Structure 1
């Protein structure tokens, strides 16, 4: 038998959940994993046991609700095997065949006794370090009342504690569950809940909550999660701004256009957020390409996330302005991702951005556009709060973040989001279009800058083939 792991925690097999738990599950305890059918409990349980197998531990999957063949099918769907995991199939059906022509129907008490003895015998024989019990729903249905169910769990917990087993008990929560009696969650050292909801549009949204974990300062609240083929359950811990390494001295970040930098009092500060607001065609995305190119040419890394434009469209538009970015992308200096907003949760997006900063050391981050991102989410006000936490994290990390915000219509003036996002920006760059003598002119103005002086004058933004420039605004002639 493999040596017992003396670590104070054991991995759940899910990296994001381990992060939320500050390393994993405390050893030699009993835990409950609750959730509706299809929420990912079985997949997560297999990941928990596979992590034990990788650590050289003996692992048992006790199943009252699924067959070994069904578990094997789930594993195969992810490219896994059950090698190293012992599956103990038990039955609570109430019959024991003693002969081909005879069946003895057991009472509820006898069924509980037979089930308990079978589990205890398997544990004593194979000495597992990890055990999954699937599921408590069957035991709850046999007992018929919560006090009896609670007594069963107390006895099971006492037995496992003597065997030094880390046990994960799956509890299927259904509308028919009897929750009127004494609650049993208090018996477990920790309780993790999987939540699954279907919005009016888009895919299923999955979240988890560590509703209880003794002696561990977990990151509480909901965290987004997903079930991915080949990966299983993937968890995206909610962004915690306090975990970002705070920079000592902000630096000025320049655009490469001297006149534009002058408008910002010499440049934009690292660790701030700039909202670039304007109608269609005013040059919002051009601003993002401009700052990205300047940073890359200085030797800095950049991350740019597109929600309304394909990668090839972005490259061609930038090349038309004389900004060659393909090679930076190939070299890994430019992290460039385009998304279908309906297929990504705020938690997953936050993790992708965080990794671009921590792993790729990106110093400029552009989200183009915030309007497209928020418009695809069912709860935009909550998404804005998620974005705010992300922006605080980026600010502490010394990143210049640019959020592209579109206005309604070609010449409209209302921001195309039904929630107020103006508080997100330390700086607001306003781009507008006006008509003069049959020609459209792009205006650019810095209307807000929290840090340092800025130019309040309105200037003209010239976007021409191969170049971008900012010039003093030539006012209209005074009519006489």
Structure 2
């Protein structure tokens, strides 16, 4: 299906904006979809969001439940501040006919239970004529069917029944450790398959991901995308960043720091659409360098996004004010977007989306991540985090943003970067800060060791950080001992 045909195709919202983005607009109408996942992965919450989206449009919606009571569904909705108003809940039990079937000698018990369950569902659909339907869950139907062929026939017949009535249906399929994956049974029948993944790492919170493993006729953003279940929001999906989605910058601009001698080291300034790694051990002035560029951009009237992983917002303000950089008013005015994070509570996908949205909505020209080391050290799979941040940096580059990454090093002399993966390739520019002791005083040095775009100064200069501000002068080497 080409782009024009896709635009003509009617789609319905899943009720989850991030999932709709992955689906390029929503679910193709009048089709059957499978939502798979382990218990607790968010299937029921996502299903309620799907039906609530229909209710908001005035559509009749039914939740057919073979596994949960109405009271349980109401409790789930209430936990998010929702109600089931407008959603008809049909409570059925796949075992309702056991007592009646016990006296039968002609029909097998399983066949009678399956037939009566099917009739009850079809009767509810015929009576209420829904536009959207959730069937919870296939596990109960699978358990009462005698074999896989019978289970497949039931699904095919049910799919045809729904298609004749133009119903968009989500069939929830619970995956448990006791049951093997049944994708070979249902994947080929459904128009689309959405999988919710839940895993517990060695430390930190539960990690949740979502994958659209199949969607006929839709060029979905394949692979895993981070997701979360939030009180009051339900399932929240963070689509993986696609660098090509950002508009290309027509003409790079020089971004200055406000300190002439520092700008000279970069050949006049740093270019928009590039990434600068500021590397150094504790006390060398890494965060001060970032604050310097942020302050200069704010004074030029540009917006700045500053994302903290190791420092509280109040600490940042006080440190900046101690150097003559008053930033509180910029923050109150909304020109400075300032966020601090607990790294254990945010996924790479969510962080990337927060940065991306700030750039798109607030026209941010400078982004500071302080520190990238703390961000990586909080994640169990650092190599993947580096790939995720690389996609984010490419997106920011295409959007014409100067990105400053603070990278900490171990020890007083900074032997070795504080992470066990190579990140040097991420930077178009590398600014190296050092500190050394001489005659009872610590001396800071600053060097531009790499700059892909244009010339730069190779000299080592001395960096002064004082209450009056920041200055850079020619470096007088220490005398030989």
State the TM-score bracket (shorter-chain normalisation): over 0.9
Structure 1 range deviating more: 197-206 or 177-186: 177-186
SS at match of 2:351: helix
Q: Which residue of 2 aligns with 1:36?
A: 38
Separation in 2, partners of 1:121, 1:237: 39
Q: Which residue of 1 aligns with 2:3?
A: none
Separation in 1, partners of 2:399, 2:420: 29
Q: Is the 8 A contact 1:145 1:181 kept in 2?
A: no
Determine whether 1:461 maps to 2:455: no
Q: Which residue of 1 aligns with 2:343?
A: 341
TM-superposition CA deviations, 1:63-108 (whole Å, max 9, x none): 000001100110011000000000001111253667xxx9757711
SS at match of 2:185: coil
Separation in 1, partners of 2:96, 2:19: 38
Where does the alignment leave 5 or more consecutive residues of structure 1 unmatched? Answer: 1-5
Alignment of 1:92-171 (within 5 A): 92-95=94-97, 107-171=109-173
Shift of 1:478: 6.2
TM-superposition CA deviations, 1:156-191 (whole Å, max 9, x none): 001000011000000000122255795221100000
Separation in 1, partners of 2:455, 2:398: 22
SS at match of 1:289: helix
Judging changes above 3 Å, is the alpha-carbon distance between structure 1 residues 464 and 182 closer, same or farther for their aligned structure 2 residues?
A: closer
Alignment of 1:6-405 (within 5 A): 8-95=10-97, 107-179=109-181, 182-405=184-407
SS at match of 1:431: strand
Q: Is the 8 A contact 1:276 1:429 kept in 2?
A: yes
Q: Which residue of 2 aligns with 1:418?
A: 420
Shift of 1:145: 1.9
Separation in 1, partners of 2:469, 2:235: 47
Q: Which residue of 1 aligns with 2:4?
A: none
Q: Which residue of 1 aligns with 2:446?
A: 444
Q: Which residue of 2 aligns with 1:3?
A: none
TM-superposition CA deviations, 1:111-139 (whole Å, max 9, x none): 11101111111111111000000000000
Shift of 1:220: 0.3
SS at match of 2:188: helix
Q: Is the 8 A contact 1:39 1:206 kept in 2?
A: yes
Separation in 1, partners of 2:480, 2:213: 68
Separation in 2, partners of 1:104, 1:445: 89
Q: Is the 8 A contact 1:146 1:181 kept in 2?
A: no
The root-mean-square deviation of aligned C-alpha atoms, in Å, is 1.5
Judging changes above 3 Å, is the alpha-carbon distance between structure 1 residues 181 and 401 closer, same or farther for their aligned structure 2 residues?
A: closer
Separation in 1, partners of 2:63, 2:96: 21
TM value normalised by structure 1: 0.96
Separation in 1, partners of 2:343, 2:166: 46
Where does the alignment leave 5 or more consecutive residues of structure 2 unmatched? Answer: 1-7
Aligned length: 471
SS at match of 2:152: helix
Separation in 2, partners of 1:136, 1:322: 64
